[in-house]
Structure 1
């Protein structure tokens, strides 16, 4: 009977020309799929009046929906890539600011009053901690910017519990019934 053969045919992996799937049957993207999606996106970009069915026919998709999904996939990849580049550029600027603040922190600063270096009882210049403290504050703010940039801060959750009790003053409860 054919029933046994059909069961074995379903257990075999998909042929090489079919869509690639993992052990759970989920679609796996391959370089071929990505190249076809890129070709579909290029066609759409170069020929905006071209329909998705025409793109599907030109690239080899079975229907216009597959062509549309391929173009959307490419759009999302471009946006994601641009977003990653922006985050990297912002992170580099924060790195530069952090290094500058660290240089200020590592230097010794002397107290200057009315254009003159103030000396202690021992004749040595007095050390001014103000610039170091300002550098520490700036470094803390830069670290906060890092956390925001990478989304490390979790939103604050507020838990409200309890009950509300209403009391009417000046009214006899017996009159209410």
Structure 2
């Protein structure tokens, strides 16, 4: 018996997946949350998330830009709300009463401020991912093995350059008598001559 490809059940599942992916994508563009889409389509939220991710990776059309714009708009609205919480004056309340310090001033509650900061950071991270700002940077790293003979050759070349510079200076009369031997001795002292 030969098996020439996927059976009717596999094709039906594939077609159903494609339909759900397209429907998830279209519903997301209308502004529905992943949970709302999952409820409407009768599938788990995790499945909606996986299908939306796949749809976005496959599409290179204006709908992706439209989806990105919807998401950015949503993130903008969330950012405004988080900033409102951040900028409000929060006080500690215990047993339904405002806690006051020894001078009678309300004690500040930094908890909501810190939570708002965390929320703003998560929104910023999401925006960065959506815009591709966190894309990995490609690094081209090449390793070259250095042969000890190459190092010795470089040292010989440097020594020859120094000797040539000393000889040129001597010929131009820029070195006092006996200076060339001192310069040559310096070159041999470091093991390069």
TM exceeding 0.5:
no
Superposition TM-score tier, normalisation by shorter sequence: 0.3 to 0.5
Pick the structure with greater CA Rg.
2
Q: Return the TM-score normalized by structure 1.
A: 0.44
